[in-house]
Amino acid sequence: MHATVNRIQPVNFLAGEEARRYLDTLTKPAGSLGALEALAIQLSAMTGELRPNVAAPAVIVFAADHGVAAEGVSAFSQAVTAQMVANFVHGGAAINVFARQIGARVEIVDVGVASHLTEPSVVNAKVRHGTGNMLVEDAMQAYEALAAIDAGIAAVERAQNAGTHCLIVGEMGIANTTASSAMLAALTGESVADLVGAGTGINSVQQAHKITVIERAIAARRADPKAPFDVLAKLGGLEIAAMTGAYLAAAAQRLPAIVDGFIATVAALTACRLCPAVRGYLIFGHRSQEPGHDIALAALAAKPLLDMNMRLGEGSGAALAYPLLQAATAMMREMATFDAAGVSDKAKP
């Protein structure tokens, strides 16, 4: 992890400014393509190129289990994590459908699924069989959190070596909204009740129980809120650690990364707390229905591209946002300038 963090450079603001000036020469009233123009400027600043290329997106889904699932905090049982991994392998999950739509390769990485997986196409980077139950013990030891971060970094390096120019990171892990909520409350000091949501679909009574479990776990684990790695190890998850590593690696490689929903954004916040320059390499794909997502987005001063009332995970919301990045780069590449098209760029007095 440390070698990766040391390689991270701030985005290239001069390249962003050059993109801003070029946008005003294109045949449209200045600023009229709104957020698409901001996206183009951001992509230029990330890549250092006036006409960046985001073709060949890659989806990486990190899967892991959570000891805290034993406390009845999810609407689904822990076995569903492994069952969904099998579904990813067979191409039947939502992320498979959306990845096919945008021409993305999909890699599934097991960083900590509780059961033994036999699917040969799943990358085996298992650190342990699920985290410890944060109510009774630290979720991970420091060396385990570090190993999971490194698994995330390695996955991004594989994707880049395969020719990827845009990263979509997703996750699958029953009970991971509990881990993410605990981390977010610890990192921001916001009240647990304000950020906990239904996750996969628990009712209000179960949500009250989930809040109590998280409050007790935070009190028992005593993670240092100023030490994001400590918060991640004690309250987090193996897939959340891997996603944190993936965002660090994306920034180190100047690779635009589209952040997905609530769990992904908590991992992104962790990466930014570890190294603030990561923030410039992140694009936020959608706004999840999980109430904590707004708190995590606010902590990152982030405005997501889409608001589709989704709360699935897997990278699904990020994959849906990818065509907007394609549009931003196509605009820079293909639109005519006022000069070239013979259109007067003067507004009437």
Ligand X SMILES: O=C(O)c1ccc[n+]([C@@H]2O[C@H](COP(=O)([O-])O)[C@@H](O)[C@H]2O)c1
Ligand Y SMILES: Cc1cc2nc[nH]c2cc1C
Q: Which residues bind ligand X (CB under 6 A)?
A: 74-76, 171-178, 199-200, 260-263, 288, 290, 293, 311-314
Q: How far apart are CA 89 and CA 87, in angstroms?
A: 5
Residue 288 near which of ligand Y, ligand X, none (CB within 5-8 Å, type-dependent): ligand X
Exactly one of 37, 107, 144, 314 is catalytic; name it: 314
Considering beta carbons, is residue 149 or 175 the nearer one to ligand X? 175
112 vs 261 by CB, closer to ligand X: 261
Shortest distance, position 47 Cβ to ligand X, whole Å = 26
We find the least distance from the C-beta atom of residue 28 to ligand X, in angstroms, to be 34
Phi, psi for residue 237 in degrees, rounded to 5: -150, 165
DSSP 116: P
2 burial via Cβ count (<10 Å: 0-12, 13-18, 19+):
exposed
Token pair in block for residue 320: 């849906």
**CB of residue 292 vs ligand X: minimum separation in angstroms?**
9
Q: Which of 54, 202 has the CB closer to ligand Y?
A: 202
107 binds, among ligand X, ligand Y, none (CB under 5 to 8 A by kind): none
In angstroms, the CA 209 to CA 309 distance is 24
Instruction: Please give the DSSP secondary-structure letter assigned to residue 117.
Output: P
Distance in Å, CB of 80 to ligand Y, minimum: 5
Phi and psi angles of residue 99, each rounded to the nearest 5 degrees, phi first? -65, -40
- Report the nearest approach of ligand X to the CB of residue 82 (Å): 12
Q: What is the closest distance, in whole angstroms, from the C-beta atom of residue 34 to ligand X in the complex?
A: 25
Full DSSP string of 229-242: HHHHHHH--HHHHH
Chosen from ligand Y, ligand X, none, partner binding at 311 (C-beta under 5 to 8 Å by type): ligand X
CB 83 within 8 A of CB 52: no
Q: For residue 266, what are the contacts with CB-CB under 8 A and spacing of at least 6?
A: 180, 183, 184, 187, 240, 292, 296
What is the helix (H) or strand (E) element at residue 17, kind and residue range?
helix 13-23
**Residue 94 CB contacts under 8 Å (≥ 6 apart), including other chains:** 312, 314, 316
Residue 124 structure tokens: 């085996």
Closer residue to ligand X in complex, CB, 24/194 = 194
Interaction site with ligand Y (CB under 6 A): 76, 80, 84, 172, 200, 312-314
Picked from ligand Y, ligand X, none, the partner binding residue 279 (CB below 5 to 8 A depending on kind) is none
Smaller CB distance to ligand Y: residue 22 or 76?
76
DSSP 8-class letter at 276: G
Angle between helices 262-274 and 176-188 (to 10 degrees): 40
CB-based contact 135:265 (threshold 8 Å): no
Active site residue 314: yes
Q: How far apart are alpha carbons 95 and 99 in whole angstroms?
A: 6
For ligand X, the closer of residues 135 and 175 by Cβ is: 175
Catalytic residue numbers read 314
